[in-house]
Structure 1
């Protein structure tokens, strides 16, 4: 004959609830660990992509800087080879700019 007394059923429910709490604690811990792992992976990937973008930006900056330096050197060279023509071009450019900016 089975003992189905209310006390035994309450004790069984307590045991099951206790086990459920432990299981839920394990699930919460696993979800937390998974979230942390995913966050670390995402952070690492984002840092790598940021490093790549910064490297590309740095290369573009250096390329633009070198191009600007070449343009300045070329301009100085042309001015030294043709000083009077350069002066005339600068004068005409100044007149045109003055006319453009003086009009209302």
Structure 2
């Protein structure tokens, strides 16, 4: 049977091993959190660039459509007025049904 001193030494060794394992587990967890945060940041940056490109594209397309519409209205003012009137009649008819 082990003496009291041997048991105390084994207990001290076990405490040191537990402390070492705890420190290693904490460091591993911190590394995983850092890696996850870096990956998330990279994905957000990628989405931000993609979103910005889509926004710029949609904005450019909207400006192009607005210019084309203005040109058509200026080229055909009577047809534009008639079309606007007809659209108003249709919308009024739909709203009157409610």
TM-score by length of 1: 0.90
User: Highest CA radius of gyration, 1 or 2?
Assistant: 1
Structure 2 Cα separation of the partners of residues 76 and 41 of structure 1: 52
Provide the aligned length of Structure 1 versus Structure 2.
98
Matched, 1:46 2:66: no
Give the counterpart of 2:27 among 23, 30, 33: 33
Q: CA deviation at 1:55?
A: 1.1
TM-score by length of 2: 0.95
Gaps of 5+ in 1: none
Give the counterpart of 2:6 among 5, 12, 17: 12
Matched, 1:94 2:88: yes
Aligned Cα root-mean-square deviation (Å): 1.1
Aligned to 1:66: 60
Moved over 6 A (4+): none
Gaps of 5+ in 2: none
